[in-house]
A and B are shown apart, each in its own frame.
Chain A
Amino acid sequence: MPKQDTSGSPYYLGIQNLQEIATREDRVCVLNILGGESRQVTPTSHSFSGGNVVFGTSPGRAGQVLKTSAGDIPVYNNVREGIDAGHAFNVGVVYLPPSAVRDGVAELVRVNDALEKIVIITEKIAVHDAREVRAMAQANGVDVIGGNCLGMADSWNGVRLGGALGGDNPAESLTKGSVAIFSNSGGFTTTIAQYLATEGWGTTTLISSGKDVYIHYAARDFAHAFQADERSKAAVLYVEPGGYYEHGVDFGKPTIACVVGRWKSKLTRAVGHAGAMAGAGDRAEDKERWFMEAFGVKGLFSPENPIVSDRGAVVTNIAHIPAALSAVMKLNNTAPDFEPRGSLALKPWIADDKGLSLPPELAMAPVQAPEPYDGQIQALAQQIGAVIARQNMKDKSGASQMNPKTQVTSVHGHSVLDMAMEPLEAIFALPLVHEIANANDSAMLDVAVAAEVNLVGDPVLAAADAAREAGNAPNAIMAAAASIVGPKRVERALACTRVLIDLFAHSGLEDGRDETFDSSSLRLSAEHGHLFTMTADEADDPRPKAILDAVEARNGKSAFLTFLKGLDIDLNRDALLAAIALTIAWGPLIRKRISRLTAETLPWYLRLYGVLVGASIPGENHRPGSLYNIPRAERFSQWTMADLCFLALTGKKPERDEALPLQILIGLLISNGPGAISAQGAKGAVAADGPQTPSRVQINKAMVGFLSHCGFSHGGNGFEGIAFLLEQFKDSGLSDPTDRDHGLDLKAMARSFATRYKAEKRQAKELGLEVRALPGVHHPVFKGKPVNYDPRERFIADFLERRGDYNAFHAYYRELVEALYEVGASPYVFCVNVDAVIAALLLALLWKDYMAGAMGDHDLENAAFNIFLYGRMIGAAAEIDDHINRGRNMDTRTPADRCGFVV
């Protein structure tokens, strides 16, 4: 027999007064109490409400408990067991998955005669089940709240039932006052309460109704209980389109209705559950009208047009609710519950515009967040530089990426083609600081590296020379040198960098070049001061002064150098290297583009760059104060990185833009992505040291890893193209390959070779021999069209053409691919690949010396290899730094089940 109610409504309604909806006397049973969501929410509800959950159910888990700060909640297999164990409850809370909700409701109403209320938190319950839930609850005289809701709370009683209203700290949002809230949105139930406080309004009862097709506790039911509640002087309704739940409801007291969702009627199809059949007269616009009629207002309330009556107002933005309520209550001669708390103005908590210039109204500075959030944000702010999550980095790179379609590799977002167009000094720090250096930073970098190239008197040079004399290839010579530049060789430079970072970290310095920055409040301790000062052994070292002079000569700007110069100490070379490196790294560090670890280790890389270039210059050319007879002061104050590389290759200072082809070549060779053998060598070396303890990774050894993973096939093969061109041009009488009027008939030369090659091919086929591949011609990706191009070759060729530059070798290659097709030696016009351009540029660079006999075949081969190494050391630095920052210990190994055994 259904229970009788006294509401006078045509259906059962047990709750007569909002005061009854969530009370301190309610006792709760939670179905599926150990489910993921309940496990998070129920302990807070229980503790906040004075321990009102008597037990929960979870089939098969009887005997377990849910721990809460207000004591353990026992768990039973089912409701009957709990009741048999002596627990009594009047509220059932349902956290079951959707398909089990209906059965859970049936269990609650059948097993517990004392049941009064059910709160259904679960969302996406089938309409079929919702229908039956409604019918069961009606037949058994039980009020249902939900489904798809967050339950209800009462700020006066200090109780919340069911869901998570008020989040993990309900007291923060549930402030005692005079306003009842009924909301279709669970999230907004709390948000509205919080907004109301900004006008001084607190709350009585808050109900999250859900917005399924069946709203079991609906606006009409709320209005009935609201009218009977003496505590509630006003109500706020948050309503969305769909359903007639609010139609013709009399609230009896001042009410603010917030109707949101006009956009839904603009959609081309139905949205969600409610109002699934379009055009049913329950759109947002319709609901606005219902409320306007009920309140006797002629329009919507907005701050600009505050339309209210003493019965209420209609808003379409929840931010307008507090002001609308105050205006309505003013007409009712009712003052807010308390002094306004906080405001709804925009308050950024955390921001970083990454150095971009935004208009002032958008570039709002962060403000202090309320506690406890501000304390947490302050703790975050202590962090300097980026924090990068570690992962397995086998065959992966966060630095380089080769586009499989174009075969063009990018390093930190800059393609090698673009890098080839930049001066070398602008890009060789890019792998580490992720940005192309500007003129100031380029100049500083030039000084830093120039200061490391002359190795006279250094065991590094002895090691390199010994390796050279032993007949090693250029990579092994460089590896011998790099091996010497171990951790102790950079210990002081890295320590200086660390000290400077600590000192300037929270000083407000944003730009490392800002020499006007006031560092007067920064103090270097005596202990740290020693780090920066020349030792007695170094007293004769002329380089520190030369570095400072060169920086001045180049008009270099550095906040750190300015600071150090102001210390009145004799700065040592490591201190200057640290200051220069940090000048370049500071911006990216503060903008969190790079990690502190990267900034701290940058001096090591710069020193290695200098040493590797220096090691490629035979020992006899390193002299005190000069290199290849070029005086120190000139190199420090005028030379670029590309000039130094040119010097290393040719023993000469480049004239005008003679170094340009070299710059292009080095740029092109920087990286071929993490799959390249050289990159794998570098990454393996890092993985083996264990990047999870980054201080133990030997960056010089990682460079050795890259160098040992180069060789005659990988790096040294650049000579193959040169050898092929030499074969064609050696006896041609060509004097200047960059002169268009060279007098050679390249077309005829190409056709003659193509004819010979075709015959050679035919013969090889007959004999069953392998046909020799032509270096610089054809590519496994850029093939199959009638005429094929390697986009990298095109890019360089276009650039040179635009400059008006000419290269006879390159022109020959273009003739050759045509001729091969014309004589039938190729099925279509092969592409001239990027290796051909490299060979053509390099040979043109060295042609005169070669023809004059100053260079032999072996020298050309070494030069080709060295150029590859100069480029790739920059790319390797990118992989090493990336792997140290991102990788895990030994992550490059291959699991045994993916290895093969062959006999």
Chain B
Amino acid sequence: MALELELISPFEVAKDAVLAIQDYAVLAMQSLGNFFRRPRYWGDMLQQADLIGVGSLPIVVLSGLAIGALLALNSASTLQRFGGITLIGQLVSNSMVTELGPLITGLMVSGRNASGMASELGSMIVTEQIDAMRALGTDPSKKLVTPRVAATVFMLFFLTIIADLLGLFGGYAVASLMFGLDSRQYWSNAWQTLVFRDVFMGLVKPVLFGFIIATIGCYYGMSTRGGTQGVGRSTTQAVVTSSVLILVVDFFVTKLIFALLGYR
């Protein structure tokens, strides 16, 4: 079979990219604007909060514990060399609260829920269910997008706090069981090292990451074209894009908060 290659002009590619960013911006703004317009779908928000929050709990619990434990395990050997094993609580606490807690939780929830949203909404697009919803006089942006955005932002905030706490427990388990560190020493170090800036940074990030996960998942779902193959493509793109965006935004938010509230 002869393979036909179609050349696409760079201008077309750039135009498509700009259009995609514009469409995403419109969807993201609408998802926020819908909070101020009736009707509001509280029932759908609760249902999504259950699916996203409670459904993601096992994966967040496991990854939080594992990251805290691994962080303690990896840093202990270096700290031991300099006689600073007592600082392990400080290191785990700082890393988990400011960086690893929000980041790992964001990436885990992105892998689970951005893909879920893209595939669910994408399937609804290709089977004309979204058109049917519009035809029945219901705004899909209000009914489907806003509840997902609200639920993801709200639940990711609390999931991150849970991951932070479990990370600290994971670190404590390694420090105490493997390196014989006193429990009081670990927890007082972990507690005292945290300042307002660290906690603020650790709580701002999940809000932004939650917004990215839900809006990207919904955007790729709602812009699905091309049947079941298109649904698969949207799902993959949603996970890749939201993960990359989370990493990029994480860097800039960290930089911005350091610039505003001072470096350590």
A binds B: no
